Amino acid sequence: MRSSEAAAGRRSADRGAVTAEAAMALTVLVAFVFALVWALVAAADQIRCVDAARAGARAAARSEPEAAVRAVARESAPDRARVAVERAGGLWRVRVEAPTPGPGALALT
């Protein structure tokens, strides 16, 4: 009888270890999924900013007024984006910046 009681005690301890390991693995998996989603949102916002700057530069190349260039760039830009248009000599520069939400140091612009 004692050997079966000892085996039952070991099985019970093993179940507790498996539960703790599963809890840790699940926590790491959830954190990884959140990081992956954040990275995808940041990459999508980066692409949208590049596209918006390109659209604004095309409008500037067509000699449209500065207000129209800003409007064209804002149409393609992500929400809360800042659009800056400046002229240096014969060149136009359209700069689009948008904040990407993130926890603490992971918040990007």
Instruction: Render pLDDT for 20-46 as a digit per residue (tens, 0 to 9).
Output: 788 888 999 999 998 898 889 889 999
What pLDDT, in 10s, does the model give residues 36-86? 988 898 899 999 999 999 999 999 999 899 999 999 999 989 888 999 999
Distance, CA of 26 to CA of 32 (rounded, Å): 10
What pLDDT, in 10s, does the model give residues 89-109? 888 899 999 988 777 766 777
Task: Find residue 85's DSSP bridge partners.
Answer: 94
Write down the domain spans for the chain.
Answer: 2-106
What global pTM score does this model have?
A: 0.70
